[in-house]
Structure 1
Amino acid sequence: MKKLHQDTLLIHGGECIDAATGAVNFPIYQTSTYAQESLGKHKGYEYSRTGNPTRSALERLIAELESGVAGFGFASGMAASSCVFSLFSRGDKIIISSNVYGGTFRVLDKVFARFGIEYEIIDMRDENALESSLQRDKNHIKALFLETPANPLMTVTSIGSVAKIAKKHGVLLIVDNTFMTPYLQKPLELGADIVVHSATKYLGGHSDIVAGCVVVGDKELGERIAFLQNSIGAVLAPFDSFLLIRGIKTLGVRMQRHCENALKIAQYLEANPAIERVYYPLLESSGDKATQESQARGGGGMISFELKGGYDFKTFLQSCALIPLAESLGGVESLLCHPASMTHASIPKEIRESVGIKESLIRLSVGIENVDDLIADIQNALNKSKI
């Protein structure tokens, strides 16, 4: 059979029909252990921390979608990232992109730093700064960790350009692909070594699970991640694996609507006299449109923006009727977030401000509702927030 299109892979990828029964929805193997035929002889599974058929189906699916050689399911996005960071040892350093999720910063700054793993923050769009750091600290830097588009300012970095630099210096490139998903962007095909996801977000898509995924493009890396996944044990449960497989089936149609709605709302906000600035990759004003279009099939569903003076952002956040103020993103429903006090609160204020995350910044996860209803709700909240 010829290579399947992405929309078809979402539904039929990963061999998700149960071979034993023919069930078109892969069963939930809600078991912790498996009967063995005799000493050392089993049917492929021994203990569900090590492996579970439902999780295996999910792992095959996400690996195929990301064009990887192996996929791994975790209990959260942070469990996935933490497993990847566990590849490194005392004295190693990881360069992280300047706009990075607060939880990623926190686990490096407060957890892995205690074990002697260092980090450095660099805007990887500045290739000279990246090269300089790699030259200066070439014996210690082992990996680059990149978000693109970055959370929450939606800055876009060329994965291909950074991958070339990483390979030149013999370091790993890890890309957080949560915002784009493999439906829009495939980092491994662009030269990355490892992809991580908070699958809680777009992959699940319904705000009803907490999950994470890792995909690798190299067999040896896959063996190392498999060992760490089993040893650390923060694995995805069978029921959550089932829900994630189900969510992924509709990823294509959802991402199309997320992208459509987000672009319309970004254009509406940019033209609105109450708005100081809008951050969205496909706006000409972003300066990132060409790079985004070169490596992704859309702009995604995330927008950030700032209100002009004379408007109170706190009042705005409390005044939307349809769009709740809540952590997380990527569900079918739209959500508002205040990065400085929510997703990025764990990053010290001086670092937040140095990378452009202002106290007044608002982040909007655009859902798949009718876009006119969303715009009307935003406009009503803007009217109420005028001082």
Structure 2
Amino acid sequence: MQFRTRAIHVGNEPCPQTGAVVPPIYLASTFVQHEAGVWREFDYSRSGNPTRSCFEETIAHLEGGYGAMAFGTGMAATSCVMAMLKSGDHVLAGSDIYGGTYRLLHKISNRAGIETTLADSTNLKAFAAAIKRNTKLVWIESPGNPQMSITDIAACAKIAHDAGALLGIDSTFATPVLTRPIELGADIVMHSATKYIGGHSDVMGGVLVANTEQLYKDLYFVANATGGIMSPFESYLCSRGLKTLELRVREQSKTAMLLAEWLESHPRVTKVRYPGLKSNPGHELASRQMDGGFGAMMSFDIDGDFNETKRVVGATKLFRLAVSLGAVESLIEQPASMSHASYDAADRAKHGITDGMIRLSVGLEAFEDLRDDLAQAIG
């Protein structure tokens, strides 16, 4: 079956008792057992819940993984991966990553004696050179946040595996519609389900997909022990979101392409970062690695300082000034003061997060209306 068909039917079998087309939401926190010490499929909702399992089955199938587990947020999912590490381990992460992941690695994981190195994952020679003897996890994003860099996932998988490490990837921007990292050698795929999977700015969630049974069991042990699970209602919303995921992502990607081309010709725009543009250094790789589209996220720089950039992002009428992304409504933000404010100032400068950078999440509005909104805001 094709992707959109599987997104609708896998994990969404009609209720066997009533015939309901949409599986019911199971709010129960605990489940009656037939015999002491002999467990049924579900016993306690932290360990497993029928509604959550429906969502997990669907996303695992779409990603081509062995199994999935759903969390209350994307950061809870990422934290589960980091919690598998121990004191003395080393994480090699790409330099173009979400600010929350940067904060987790540099200001939380370091307290447990876990060392982190950031390196440019688009420079494979330099990235491989940053591997250490104690590297246990390589963590990348593609497209990256907020530079929209494109990383060769298959090459990074080889780098990680040659070092005896796992490759984990935050694939939130791409979604399984455009990129399926497990097919390219990744071990763990993470999505902030708050974004495209939910798709309507009304749900918080995260998900991990593991490529093997043993890795799934290892991650599940941590998830069950720490308890940052997704609730039944959010699981239902994410299952519903998956059913329209492909349609939304492909339409949003088309509009994003048009906006990127328009921005590239704007006299006040000094740089546009979007992998669909032929001028983008990652365009050729993205054309091979992404399936029929380049996503709906982009960033660009204007010819103004920090305060002028703040003025522009606050002047739009359709683009909402807000963090997050991936929903039906378009969002705009200034990474230096918002999504990546948790970066140390020196690291922001080092990794190209300029005061003049603006990040867009393109929604489902008409291109012409979004273009006109940006035009009046930029001036």
TM-score, normalised via structure 2 length: 0.97
Report how many aligned residue pairs link the two structures: 377
CA shift for structure 1 position 277: 0.7
Whichever residue aligns with residue 53 of structure 1, its letter is: P
Of 265, 273, 297, 1:302 maps to 297
CA distance in 2, matches of 1:125, 1:77: 24
CA shift for structure 1 position 312: 2.4
User: Does the aligned pair in 2 maintain the 1:63–1:70 contact within 8 Å?
Assistant: yes
User: Does the aligned pair in 1 maintain the 2:7–2:243 contact within 8 Å?
Assistant: yes
1:239 aligns with: 233
Per-residue CA deviations over 1:75-115 (Å, capped at 9, x if unaligned) read 00000000011111000000010011010011111111101
1:198 aligns with: 192
Per-residue CA deviations over 1:155-213 (Å, capped at 9, x if unaligned) read 10110111122222221000101001101100000000000010000011000000000
Whichever residue aligns with residue 280 of structure 1, its letter is: Y
CA shift for structure 1 position 58: 0.7
CA distance in 2, matches of 1:343, 1:315: 17
5+ long unaligned stretches in structure 1: none
User: Does the aligned pair in 1 maintain the 2:309–2:355 contact within 8 Å?
Assistant: no
1:80 aligns with: 77
Per-residue CA deviations over 1:110-163 (Å, capped at 9, x if unaligned) read 1111011111001112222122222xx22x101100001100010101101111
Q: Secondary structure at the match of 1:328?
A: coil
In the alignment, structure 1 residue 262 sits paired with structure 2 residue 262: no
CA distance in 2, matches of 1:205, 1:226: 26
CA distance in 2, matches of 1:293, 1:207: 29
CA distance in 2, matches of 1:309, 1:108: 32
CA shift for structure 1 position 250: 0.5
Whichever residue aligns with residue 213 of structure 2, its letter is: K
1:32 aligns with: 29
In the alignment, structure 1 residue 321 sits paired with structure 2 residue 317: yes
CA distance in 2, matches of 1:167, 1:38: 44
5+ long unaligned stretches in structure 2: none
CA distance in 2, matches of 1:188, 1:235: 23
CA shift for structure 1 position 38: 2.4
CA distance in 2, matches of 1:31, 1:225: 24
CA shift for structure 1 position 317: 1.2
Moved more, 67-76 or 14-23: 14-23
Query: How well do the aligned residues superpose, as a CA RMSD in angstroms?
Result: 1.3
User: Does the aligned pair in 1 maintain the 2:117–2:130 contact within 8 Å?
Assistant: no
CA distance in 2, matches of 1:81, 1:31: 26
Q: Secondary structure at the match of 2:314?
A: helix
User: Does the aligned pair in 2 maintain the 1:35–1:42 contact within 8 Å?
Assistant: no
In the alignment, structure 1 residue 344 sits paired with structure 2 residue 340: yes
Q: Percent of aligned pairs with the same residue?
A: 42
1:169 aligns with: 163
Of 350, 366, 376, 1:370 maps to 366
Per-residue CA deviations over 1:265-324 (Å, capped at 9, x if unaligned) read 000000111211100001111111110011112110001011124992222112111111
In the alignment, structure 1 residue 7 sits paired with structure 2 residue 12: no
CA shift for structure 1 position 361: 0.5
CA shift for structure 1 position 7: 1.2
CA distance in 2, matches of 1:293, 1:144: 24
CA shift for structure 1 position 14: 2.4
CA shift for structure 1 position 37: 1.9
Structure 1 segment 93-242 matched on structure 2, within 5 A = 93-134=90-131, 137-138=132-133, 140-242=134-236
2:245 aligns with: 251
CA shift for structure 1 position 6: 0.6
Per-residue CA deviations over 1:12-45 (Å, capped at 9, x if unaligned) read 1224433343322111001111112221245311
2:62 aligns with: 65
